Each structure stands twice: as C-alpha cells, then as structure tokens.
Structure 1
Amino acid sequence: MARFRVGLTGGIGSGKSAVMRAFQALGVEAWDADDMSRVVVEPGQPALAAIAEHFGPQILADDGTLNRPALRHIIFSDPSAKTWLEQQLHPLINRELRQRLDAAQTPYALLVSPLLFETGQDQLVNRVLVVDAPESVQLSRARQRDGASEEQIRRIIASQMPRKERCSRADDVLDNSGNLDALGPEVQRLHHFYLELSKS
C-alpha cells in the first residue's frame, strides 16, 4: 500500500497528463480524477440516473451513456447546474480515488486532478505538485487538443482556481511553459525526491 501520496494538479492545458505519463513511465501508480468521473456515471450507476432525472433524457446519448458535450454546455452556462452536479459527483469520485490509492503497491502514488483544491481532494494526499504554465500557453494547448473555442477555454480557466493561488498552495511547482521534452529531467528529480519522502 502506498502510504505516501502526491496530488498532481494544474489548470487546463498546463500539461498534467504529460507529467502523469512521465511519472507512470518511472513505474509510479497514478489515478486520474477525470477517469473516476467517468466511472461513476457509467450506465447502470445511480449517479447517471440522477443526472438524467435532473437535466432530462436529452442528456443521454442514443446508447444510454452520458452525453458529455451537452452536459458541459449546460454546466458552463449555468452556475447552479454546475454546483448541483459537483454535489452529486465529488463524494463518489473521492471514494473511488481513495479505494485506488489504498490499493496502490508503489512506494508513492499520484492523485491527478484539475480541481484538487476545489474538491477537497488535497486532503487525500501528503504533498501537492502543481504543473504551471502561462495562460497563453494553456489557451494554445487546449485549443490544439480539444478543438474548443477560445471563449470556451477562457470560461473553463475562469471556473478553476486562479493560477497564482494554486501555485501559492503547492508544495512543489513544475514549470511547464516550454517544450514538453524538457519535463523528463524535472520529473526524474521529483521522482527521486518523493521516493526519499516516502521512506520517512
């Protein structure tokens, strides 16, 4: 069981997934809150039924799965809808994350979440690593990756914790404003540091 846990967070387009993959390549177990958010709304799960009841059947795709683009459109244009959804899902997601972290077999494990502080998931970890990049870089990467409009990405950035506050609450900050290839040595350094911390 991994008793030492590192929370990995950062804004949209900061490069969290690339950093997570770099740690995984070193043999570290990592659990992504976004993946858990999909698990808890799979067909047959109570949360999916509650969402369909609240927002109506049009929130479901033809195959009975959650229509994520439709839900995203609703929650980013209606703050009360976003609040309702978070109240339903965050406790379920945290439970899934806790179970997986408890079962991890590596010296330390990663909990990866864009909303680590906002959801209280920082309470599940011993240390927090923030992946940081300027807003211009976030916008560029997110647009390339998601094909979303600049307006939509700016709304997501605005809904997340301000960059300055996120960095101020971190134990470690990884600057990811440059080329993704530059991540390797920094992740290696942090990996050895976390291995040492996990022993104490």
Structure 2
Amino acid sequence: MDSPILDYLRIRRSVGAPQLVEPGPDAETLRDILTIAARVPDHGKLAPWRFVIYDRNARIKAVAALSDLAEAEEDEKQRTLLKEKAKQFAEAPLVVGVFSAPIMDHPKIPLWEQQLSVGAVCLNLLHAANSHGFGSTWLTGWYAYDEVAARYLGAQDGEKVAGFIHIGTRTMRPSDRDRPDMDKLISVWQG
C-alpha cells in the first residue's frame, strides 16, 4: 500500500543543523507544528513536557553563555570541543527545546511512560516540521546534560532536556544511511 504518509515515513531523514537555513517557520506555522507534536500517546493526559522556543537573538545569547560555561573545563582539547559543540545551537533558523516535565511519583502513570511520551513528542515535532516542508534534526549536546547549562536554557526543577529540535529550510536532501536488519530485531513469542 502506498500513501503520501507511508512514502514519507519510508524515507524520513534528519538533516544536519548546518544544512538548515532561513527561512524557518513563521509563528502560525510553528504553532501548528507544536500542536501536531503534542498529539502523542499520553497516559493520563498529563502532558509531561514543555516547549521552549529559541529565536535568533536567544540562540546567539545561548552560544555566548555556553561558551563561557565551557571555559570552566580544565582540559584544553575538551574545552575547545565544548565551545565548538555550543556553536551548533545557533546554526538553524529556529530551535525548539523539548523539556521532560514529569509528574514524579504519580500513583498510576510511571515515570518511564511519561518519558516515552516526551520522546514521542520529539519525533512528532520532526514529522510535523518536515510535513510543513522544513528540514529538522533532534540534537542534545553536552549542554542538555550539564545541569548548569540546562537550567540556563530553561530547565526547571525536576525537568530534563529531551531534545533540541533544530528547524529550517534544507540546503540538501540527505542520502539514506544503513538501516538495521529487521530480521535481527523481530521475534515471535511462542508462550
């Protein structure tokens, strides 16, 4: 069976942040992208996530602050690497931070299910951006795991960065990459 959705899903690829240029989505399109992103399985209707939008000026400030944080690294090679990785934050026209904001110790919905829901939000965000004609990629980077950096970028108490989704106009169509051997991933349980 063929359909536009199946055709897209069969060839979906992320585009590197350096290959994403202006224009990015306007405010109305971004709102639609985020609305679609939030249409995921969500046991208990908790919506255990938040979106943070980083426009051009915010991304420039973020790179400067992240570079300052990288200065604390004692190893020169590692410090240089952290600064280079920080520059990725400003490469695409738009970055959307997706923050996992779980309800801890929920009596019915375990943390794991809430985290899976946030992962689904990130993937749906990629699908929505791509369906609107943009390229996108899901990145984390050291600043997603560094507590001080994550807090600077908007993480609140009890939250973790699920991903930074970079969105823009593709400058190239990525070639396919090796895919897993499905026969090695599928089994049939016999009881």
Structure with greater helix share of residues: 1
**Highest relative contact order (Cα 8 Å, sep 6+), 1 or 2?**
1
Could you state the TM-score of these two structures normalised by the residue count of structure 1? 0.29
Could you state the TM-score of these two structures normalised by the residue count of structure 2? 0.30
* Greater Cα radius of gyration, structure 1 or 2: 2
